[in-house]
Amino acid sequence: MNLTIRPFLALLGKEVRSFFASPLVYFVAAVFLALSGYYFYTNLNAFITFGFGESIVEHLWQRLFSDIVRVVITVIPLVTMGVFAEEKHLGTVELLYTAPLRDFEIFAAKFLACMAVFVVITGSTVLYPVLIYRIQPFDLSSLLSVYLGLLLLIGAMVSIGVFLSSLTETQLIAAMFTYGAVLLLWNLSWNEAAVPGDLLGIVTQLCAFDHFEPFGRGVIDLKDVSYFLAIITLMGWLTMRSMESRQWRGRR
């Protein structure tokens, strides 16, 4: 194996393992799945009662997934809050900083480990469409696009959480700020009437909801994909600056 990537893989492996070895992730998954199961049941019920025969994409998946995003927003801070804050608190971050690892690799390992958690958790929601598909086959392409959108959205939100975790030693502070940041990002344009017309364009450009919504309609637009990738890149860059701050702050 390439020796230069081995330390990175070791760190990634440790991050993933420590997530799945701790009870937190299972509690998060349990709450997430209970809530998303409830949303699936209620949305399906509404669809059967009011929307049957209409577009399943518009009347079921879009609604279900915007509900699921709400649950995702609730649990993201719990997963990301510790990635740096805990290591800073324990002092173990010093082991990472003095290991032959690049700062970028440390960020990437933390980020990808959180993503692994969410891939497992949100991946298990595939059960719902599979159940429907067995009863009534439907067009899968829009479903694939909504999962792609969800992955990108979670990626952006996780990167925000990872960055905020790198700013503090206290997990709860990281969690609270992450919660505020991702909720605002999602809801920025919720009341279009409250935003002056010339600002509205900017606000909707910045709002995660407006970039996620097309995926729910089965539309994959490069503009939306790059919006999420830009957030991840920006947060990665900021996290690395935050890691570098040990240089002038003289602290972990």
Partner 1 sequence: MIQAQHLTKDYGLFRAVDGVSFRVGAGEIVGLLGPNGSGKTTIMRMLTGFFAPTSGTCTIAGIDIARDPREARRMIGYLPERVALYPDMPVQGFLSFIAKVRGVEGRVQGAVDEAMEVCGLTSMARRQIGKLSKGYRQRVGIAQAIIHQPQVLILDEPTVGLDPRQIVEIRSLIRTLSGLATVLLSTHILPEVSVTCSRVLILDKGHVIAEDSVEALTEKTAGRGETLVRVTGAEADVVSAIRGTAGVEDVEVLERGQNGMLALAVTSARGGAIRSHLVRTLVDGGWPVHEVSPRLMSLEDLFVDILEQAGRAERGA
Residues of this chain that interact with partner 1 (CB under 8 A) are 3, 6-7, 9-11, 13-14, 18, 21-22, 90-102, 246-250
Whichever of 21 and 135 has its CB closer to partner 1, that residue is 21
CA nearest neighbour of 209 among 187, 176, 242, 241: 187
Provide CB contacts within 8 A for 133, sequence distance 6+.
140
Nearer to partner 1, 27 or 52 (CB): 27
Q: Which residue has the tokens 């830009």?
A: 230
Output the DSSP codes for 163-230.
Answer: HHHTT-S-HHHHHHHHHHHHHHHHHTTS-GGGS-HHHHHHHHHH-HHHHHHHHHTT---HHHHHHHHH
252: nearest Cα among 113, 114, 90:
90
For residues 93 and 208, which CB has a smaller minimum distance to partner 1 in the complex? Answer: 93
Closer CB to partner 1, residue 134 or residue 249? 249
Nearer to partner 1, 140 or 241 (CB): 241
Residue 159 Cα distances to 48, 80, 168, angstroms: 37, 8, 15
User: How many whole angstroms separate alpha carbon 48 and alpha carbon 57?
Assistant: 13
| Unique residue bearing structure tokens 């700062």 | 103
C-beta closer to partner 1: residue 67 or 103: 103
Nearest approach in angstroms of CB 20 to partner 1 is 12
Q: How far is the CB of 166 from partner 1 (least distance, A)?
A: 15
- What is the nearest approach in angstroms of partner 1 to the Cβ of residue 156? 28
Give least dist CB 140 to partner 1, A: 40
Torsion of CA 84, 89, 90, 93, to 10 degrees: 40
Task: Select 99 or 131, whichever has its Cβ closest to partner 1.
Answer: 99
Could you tell me the smallest distance in angstroms from the CB atom of residue 1 to partner 1?
10
Nearest approach in angstroms of CB 94 to partner 1 is 4
- Which amino acid is located at 185 in the chain? L
Alpha carbon distance 42, 44 (integer Å): 5
Nearest distance from C-beta of residue 2 to partner 1, angstroms: 11
